[in-house]
Amino acid sequence: MNVPYAYDAWYPLAWSRDIGRQLATRRVLEEDLVVYRTEDGQVAALEDVCPHRLAPLSLGTLRGNAVECGYHGLTFDCSGQCVSAPGMARAPTGARVRSYPTAESMGMVWVWMGDPAKANGSEVFHLAEYDDPAYSVVEGDALPVQANYLSLADNLCDPTHVVYVHKTTLASAGREETRVQHERQGNKVITWRWVIDGPLIPVFEGLKDFGGANVDRWHYYHYHAPCIAVIDFGSARTGTGAPEGNREDCIRMFACHFITPIDQHSCMQHWLCLKNSPSSPEIDDRLLAGLRLAFNEDKRVLEAIQRNEDKPREWKRINLALDASSIKMRRIVEEMASSGS
């Protein structure tokens, strides 16, 4: 079953570090784009097709701020207008390709896939802690996942899977029944749980010395439809008041997941981590390794689910009480898609 796309939204396109003065390709919402930086460093994104013979523009050459088609040399500026054509004194005015608004935030290039007139760069997602000197940024990967993007969104609205999928990275044993709470706030769903008086999770080992004491641990999953998840999670020594708001002496992280829907069967998971401790090559490398392991654990399950989704079946999936956040999230996406926003 195909899931809807909300076009009037900012989607993660690529890491800023990966877009330069070379033609790059990306696929978003089943549309192929050619992406590059102009001479002044701005990011241009065009429909990746020449209207003459439909050759991909990404097979061409970057000429200043314009793209020359590699088949017959038609050249398009970063607005998508053809500015020159071989054998013609004036370029055909009707020859143009679609251009897409772009913006940059949190080390990512973002693209607006809907009506360009509705694109507002000030609305691109940005987390305040990204600029906070008390936090360091650990920039992760672009993880390809052969599953529908809403299946990954389900995962990122769901703390309950952690104890089963992430036994060696993000979970502690014996907490399967810890209560999960959730609420909707506009186009956002928040899901949270507290684990009181438990051991430190493996991925936090070495980040802070609690002297072997147990900790109170929180997980707040903030899902901003249609494609952004921020998980606020951390630990403080048990009994120091973290559940009541005292988190002065704690480990705190924000795991940010920016999802690019590629098509109905695949997506790209861009992720980074913010932590309230200084950058350290040794610690950051260990953290990256732990998070890569955890997110590949999710990838393995989600891709297996997609393979089953693609098989013909006469019965439907069941829902459990723990699916409440995912149901809310999918309803928001459906509302955004049906309203054209």
Q: Domain end: 52, 86, 121, which one?
A: 121
Q: Is residue 4 part of a domain?
A: no
Range list of β-strands (E), 113-154: 136-145
Mean pLDDT confidence for 165-186: 69
- Taking the C-alpha atoms of residue 292 and residue 311, their distance in angstroms, rounded to an integer, is 29
170 and 198 together in one domain: yes
Q: What pLDDT sits at residue 180?
A: 86
Helix (H, G, I), strand (E, B) or coil at 26: strand
What is the pLDDT confidence band of residue 158, given thresholds at 50, 70 and 90?
confident
114 and 140 together in one domain: no
Q: Domain end: 121, 149, 173, which one?
A: 121
Given a cut of 90, whether residue 161 has pLDDT beyond it is no
Domain span at residue 328 reads 127-338
Q: Domain end: 103, 121, 139, which one?
A: 121
229 and 193 together in one domain: yes
| φ and ψ at residue 222, rounded to 5 degrees | -105, 110
100 and 238 together in one domain: no
| φ and ψ at residue 24, rounded to 5 degrees | -120, 160
117 and 139 together in one domain: no
Q: Which amino acid is at 192?
A: W
Q: Which amino acid is at 230?
A: V
Q: Which amino acid is at 332?
A: I
Q: What pLDDT sits at residue 208?
A: 84
Query: In the chain, how many domains are there?
Result: 2
CATH number of the domain bearing residue 104: 2.102.10.10
Given a cut of 60, whether residue 171 has pLDDT beyond it is no
Q: Which amino acid is at 56?
A: P
69 and 46 together in one domain: yes
Check residues 89 and 53 and name the one with the higher pLDDT: 53
Helix (H, G, I), strand (E, B) or coil at 62: strand
284 and 142 together in one domain: yes
177 and 91 together in one domain: no
| φ and ψ at residue 212, rounded to 5 degrees | 80, 0
Sheet holding 108-112, edge to edge: 10-15, 108-112, 102-105
CB count within 10 Å of CB 6 equals 24
Q: What is the pTM of this model?
A: 0.92
Mean pLDDT confidence for 274-294: 90
